[in-house]
Amino acid sequence: MSEMKDKFGRPLHDLRISVTDRCNFRCRYCMPKEMFGNDFSFMKREQLLSFEEIERVAKIFVSLGIRKIRLTGGEPLLRKDLPVLIDKLMSIHGLEDVALTTNASLLERMAPRLKEAGLHRVNVSLDAINDDVFMTINDAAYKTEMILRGIDKAKEVGLGVKVNMVVKKGMNDHQVIPMATYFKKRGITLRFIEFMDVGTANGWNFRQVMTKKELYDELFKHFALEAVNPAYVGEVAKRYRYVGTNTEVGFITSVSESFCSTCTRARVAADGKLYTCLFASNGLDLKSILRSNSGDEAVRAAIVSTWQNRTDRYSDERTEESAKNKTKIEMSYIGG
């Protein structure tokens, strides 16, 4: 079938599905304790899409050209029986890749089951290698040792592993070189993410953004790097390789070098809403359509209409003032 494209000619290639809004960290980036304290009311089980509903949605998206699905959260490993869902997704004809974004706090225990269910890859969110910095960022009693063991276990069982680090000036920018050194030695791809104004809870301002150029310049003081060509159309990471190795480092540049023009990604949030942009305010309520006894064609038509009428270009149009005044879906609901 021909590609389904929006008004700017952007095809739909990649789907992120958030399976829970819960997390066992209260990260300063997406779930600060000032907003997500001990008394925060998370979604009830019946408010989440069931595994059967997720499978149904996934099949419809695959019929529209999706070949890759990433499960997100919250922390997706908190969703009970998650390997059952992965097994269901892997049975969908035409779906080529299922991956998972995680903070890896439960990964050491769950990695074998995830691999057995058919999971291909994990992206681990880790913003510091130093225990004190890590624990401060996440308001957690966990130390990095547990996260690093989870990463090692994932590699041991044969899962692909990448590590994502959100870099914020004054918080963890001094961890850039220690993180790069650690994961270079282990042959694991590390990707630096510019601090973004996702949601409304993280107190974003541009002065705290360490840009790709600043990150690259800092790395280049310590490592020789060479550019790597994109692996596919719409790849968001600017990729480099440490010279003389096969180990990569990447930069995700939503602030300093927008990639709106090549964005091919849709997201289904924890509450069942479909969003066509990470910075969206409103989404299509897929859950209501699914639970109204509508057939697959009605769900498919709603998805097609939403994508084809998509006009979002938030990162192209962002200003510091607009970032402060726009209401956006919180990261805990929509994932990365």
Name the nearest CA neighbour of 86 among 94, 76, 301: 76
Q: Binding residue per annotation — 104? A: no
Asked if 16 and 68 touch (Cβ cutoff 8 Å), the reply is no
Q: Determine if residue 90 is labeled as part of a ligand binding site.
A: no
Cβ atoms of 15 and 69 within 8 Å: the answer is: yes
Is 227 within any annotated ligand binding site?
Answer: no
Query: For 125-145, what is the mean pLDDT?
Result: 92
What would the mean pLDDT of 280-298 be, rounded to a whole number?
94
pLDDT of 139: 85
Query: 125 or 42: which carries more pLDDT confidence?
Result: 125
9, two tokens: 């000619």
**Which of 121-125, 191-195, 258-262 has the least mean pLDDT?**
258-262
Determine if residue 73 is labeled as part of a ligand binding site: no
239 marked ligand binding residue: no
Ligand-binding annotation for 29, yes or no, is: yes
Inter-CA distances, 172 with 62, 95, 128, Å: 39, 37, 7
Instruction: Say what the pTM is.
Output: 0.91
Indicate the SS3 state at residue 113: helix
Q: Annotated binding residue at 142? A: no
Q: Was 253 annotated as part of a binding site?
A: no
Instruction: Read off the pLDDT of residues 71-85 as tens digits, 9 standing for 90 and up.
Output: 998 899 999 999 999
Q: Where are the beta strands (DSSP E) in the chain?
A: 14-18, 68-72, 97-102, 121-125, 160-167, 189-194, 225-227, 237-242, 248-252, 265-268, 273-275, 284-285
Quick one: which of 224, 220, 216 has its CA closest to 194? 216
**Is residue 331 a known part of a binding site?**
no
pLDDT tens-digit series, residues 299-319: 999 999 999 999 887 676 665
Among the listed ranges 87-96, 206-215, 253-262, 301-310, which one has the minimum average pLDDT value? 253-262
140-194 confidence digits (pLDDT tens): 888 999 999 999 999 999 999 999 999 999 999 999 999 999 999 999 999 999 9
30 known member of a binding site? yes
Side chain identity at residue 66, one-letter code: I
Q: Is 23 annotated as a binding residue?
A: yes
Give, to the nearest 10 degrees, the angle between helix 176-185 and helix 212-220: 60
What single letter denotes the amino acid at residue 218? E
Complete domains list, the chain, with CATH: 14-334 (3.20.20.70)
Residue 70 among known ligand-binding residues: yes
Instruction: Find out whether 250 is annotated in a ligand binding site.
Output: no
